[in-house]
């Protein structure tokens, strides 16, 4: 699999994650907590950056994506851990509460999975682009 396909896969993951978060809040009426907002702030630009990378065949896209995706993964993992704590709460909303599960994954778990797939994809894309001729 070449780097271009990995970028397309990462773009698909970021797009689904962004659309999913919007559906959860606008479609289902779930209120995003403070930690969810941080994850959104780090995920939403990835759609634009990865879309641009796909259109322009930008081999160094990982230099922009990883500084967004890695902190996003850290926040999502912290949020997932936070949900395991009894009576956890943050300043806005209920960061510790599980509002919804899809296939057994809470919303922060889904976010962590998306960020992890993007981080892994960017590592793979970097290796593929680095090895490809020209």
What does pTM read for this prediction? Answer: 0.84
Per-residue pLDDT, 115: 97
The radius of gyration computed from the CA coordinates of the chain, to the nearest angstrom, equals 16
Pairwise CA distance, residues 88 & 59, whole Å: 42
Looking at residue 58, its pLDDT comes to: 85
Q: Is the pLDDT of residue 112 over 70?
A: yes
Higher-confidence residue of 98 and 42: namely 42
Would you tell me how many other CB atoms lie within 10 Å of the CB of residue 39?
26
DSSP letter, residue 2: -
Name beta bridge partners: 105: 102
State the first-to-last Cα distance of the chain, in angstroms, to the nearest integer: 17
**2.60.120, 1.10.1760, 1.20.1550, 1.10.10: CATH of 3-131:** 1.20.1550
pLDDT of 92 strictly over 60: no
- The domain locations on the chain are 3-131
């Amino acid at each position: 699999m070449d780097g271009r396909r990995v970028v397309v896969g990462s773009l698909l993951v970021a797009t689904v994650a962004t659309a999913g978060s919007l559906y959860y809040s606008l479609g289902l009426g779930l209120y995003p907590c403070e930690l969810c907002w941080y994850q959104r702030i780090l995920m939403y630009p990835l759609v634009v950056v990865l879309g641009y990378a796909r259109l322009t065949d930008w081999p160094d896209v990982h230099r922009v994506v990883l500084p967004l995706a890695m902190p996003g993964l850290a926040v999502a993992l912290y949020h997932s851990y936070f949900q395991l704590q009894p009576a956890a709460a943050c300043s806005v909303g209920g960061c510790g509460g599980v509002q919804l599960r899809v296939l057994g994954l809470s919303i922060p778990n889904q976010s962590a999975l998306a960020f992890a797939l993007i981080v892994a994809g960017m590592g793979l894309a970097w290796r593929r682009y680095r090895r490809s001729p020209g």
